[in-house]
Structure 1
Amino acid sequence: MLTIGELAAYAGVTVRAVRHYHQVGLLPEPERDASGYRRYGATAVVSLIKIRTLADAGVPLAQIRPMLAAGPEEFGEAVRRIDRRVSDEIQRLETIRKQIAQLASGDNAALPSAVTYFLDRLREIGASEAMVRAERDGWILVTARWPDRVVEWIPGKLAQLEDPRVVRLYRILSALIDSDPSGDQAAVALMEEAADIMAALSEEAVESGDVISTEDKQDNLPFDLLDALADEAHPGAQIMRNLMRERGWYSWTRTERIPKPS
């Protein structure tokens, strides 16, 4: 016969937990013996181990009571349901682990492999790591909005990297991303050159019909988020957007002309 402390120690719980199980009616509380102590037998040990195991598996205490009162078949089925739920939770946690690993690896976070390949190509043409990170974050926003379309767009983006102007553009942006354009005439000159390149590329895209669909243009939020992301990352983003507007385009994030006043 065990004291409450010995019972708790044997079952791997605290005395406080045993008393709580008494209070909620999960574990019968024995009468005191002649010496004034409550003594627990083997049945209490088995019951407490069952309670602890079910509680550790995340079963609410309110559900444990009917399980303990159930027959062998009902109890077995209840345990199998718990096992399936635990298995599902393990799979969910494994997925989270993979996502965390992707976050740790940098470019793979929330991005399909086609995009990470594009980011690698940016490194190959001379884009800085800061520029690649900025591009990556932009693609995370785009992928979240158009997960099924991104893979379709990547071949066109890769083809653009064969254009010397695009290579020059990314190198200019790489130089600018680590600079403060305020009062820096050299930086302003680079921004003017970058805006000229982007305006020319936008013009060619419109002429060839290689532009975002009318339906997608109506969804302003992704474009607003891309602009906001650039503004939060670099003080020159607003300047660059103004330069694009001077050239007749809303910004570099969307290939769309500003309507000319009639």
Structure 2
Amino acid sequence: MSVLTIGELAKLAGTTVRAVRHYTAEGLIEEPPRDASGYRRYGTQALITVSRIRRLRDLGLSLEQIRGLLGEKPRSLDEALSTLDDELAGQERRISAQRKRIAELRTSTEDPEIPGELGEMLRRLEAAGVDQQLLRREKEAVLLVIVTSPDSVDRLTEAYRALWGSPGHQAAMVEFSRSFQALADEPEDSPEVERLVEKLLAGNPQLAEMAQGDLQENAGPMDALFLDFVDSFAPAQRRFMHVIAERVSRKEPK
């Protein structure tokens, strides 16, 4: 005889109404008929099944594993627990490896997102006092190159080394970062854009030569991604980057 409402069933089984509905939707318990008042009434078998599901879930078994224990020809509980134990052992190994990696990172200055020399040079720029917002965007640009053009990473590392490898170059980058961030408050046609372009190219005559390889190899989808990235900057900053790209593309590599 079906006598329990869904709320009563959930309370007796030590679970929630939402869980009972989910078990029903998953086919683990049958949808009961409604009484004369339109309420669904559950019986003894539903209570026993929901109670079993809750206890097996507490052990960590998935609903799919539990399904195999509830059928007419149920699997062995020992077999299911052995499978679960193997899965937990695998999780323990992964967690142990992750915790070891976290411990290593906490005792080092390595950037887990940008490892190696690129990450080290970005940390040097940060230590030198480069504007934090520009440094964040520079990191985004590096990540974009790593994801979309991994073959260019070595060339990018060489460019960073040449441009910002020395303390003097890092100090110049600090000054440039402040000027570039100031462009965010300038109108798009500000003469400060051309002045900053000239200053950057004059201080880094090798910039055009280093850019030529990237301009020739990263055409196509990379162009669209570059434009999408540039569009996230302020108008005068966008114009600065477009002018720089145009200027270096007109120069021939030595």
Q: Name the TM-score, length of structure 2 as normaliser.
A: 0.60
CA distance in 1, matches of 2:124, 2:43: 73
Shift of 1:86: 6.5
When structure 1 is superposed on structure 2, of 66-75 and 235-244 the one drifting more is: 66-75
Q: What's the counterpart of residue 118 of structure 2?
A: 115
Q: What's the counterpart of residue 154 of structure 1?
A: 157
Q: What's the counterpart of residue 189 of structure 1?
A: 195
1:109-129: per-residue Cα shift (whole Å, max 9, x none)? 733254332211112344211
CA distance in 2, matches of 1:243, 1:27: 69
Match 1:139 to one of 142, 147, 151: 142
Q: Taking structure 1 as reference, are residues 81 and 223 closer, same or farther at Cα in structure 2, changes over 3 Å only?
A: farther
CA distance in 2, matches of 1:39, 1:242: 72
Matched letter for residue 69 of structure 2 = M
Shift of 1:233: 1.4
Q: Taking structure 1 as reference, are residues 157 and 17 closer, same or farther at Cα in structure 2, changes over 3 Å only?
A: closer
CA distance in 2, matches of 1:177, 1:152: 26
Q: Which has the higher contact order (CA 8 A, sep 6+)?
A: 2
Q: Taking structure 1 as reference, are residues 85 and 147 closer, same or farther at Cα in structure 2, changes over 3 Å only?
A: farther
1:139-183: per-residue Cα shift (whole Å, max 9, x none)? 121121245763675365234322846752552243222333426
CA distance in 1, matches of 2:129, 2:24: 70
Q: What's the counterpart of residue 52 of structure 1?
A: 54
Identity of aligned residues (%): 22
Q: What's the counterpart of residue 70 of structure 2?
A: 68
Matched, 1:176 2:180: yes
Q: Taking structure 1 as reference, are residues 175 and 118 closer, same or farther at Cα in structure 2, changes over 3 Å only?
A: same
5+ long unaligned stretches in structure 1:
30-36, 251-255
Shift of 1:85: 5.2
CA distance in 2, matches of 1:68, 1:197: 75
CA distance in 2, matches of 1:168, 1:237: 18
Matched letter for residue 140 of structure 1 = L
CA contact (8 A) 2:68 2:75 kept: no
CA contact (8 A) 1:173 1:194 kept: no
Matched letter for residue 200 of structure 2 = A
Matched letter for residue 49 of structure 1 = S
Q: What's the counterpart of residue 78 of structure 1?
A: 80
CA RMSD after TM alignment? 4.9
1:68-125: per-residue Cα shift (whole Å, max 9, x none)? 2477863332344345556767859x97xx99xx9xxxx9473325433221111234
Q: What is the number of equivalent residue pairs in this alignment? A: 226
Q: What's the counterpart of residue 234 of structure 1?
A: 234
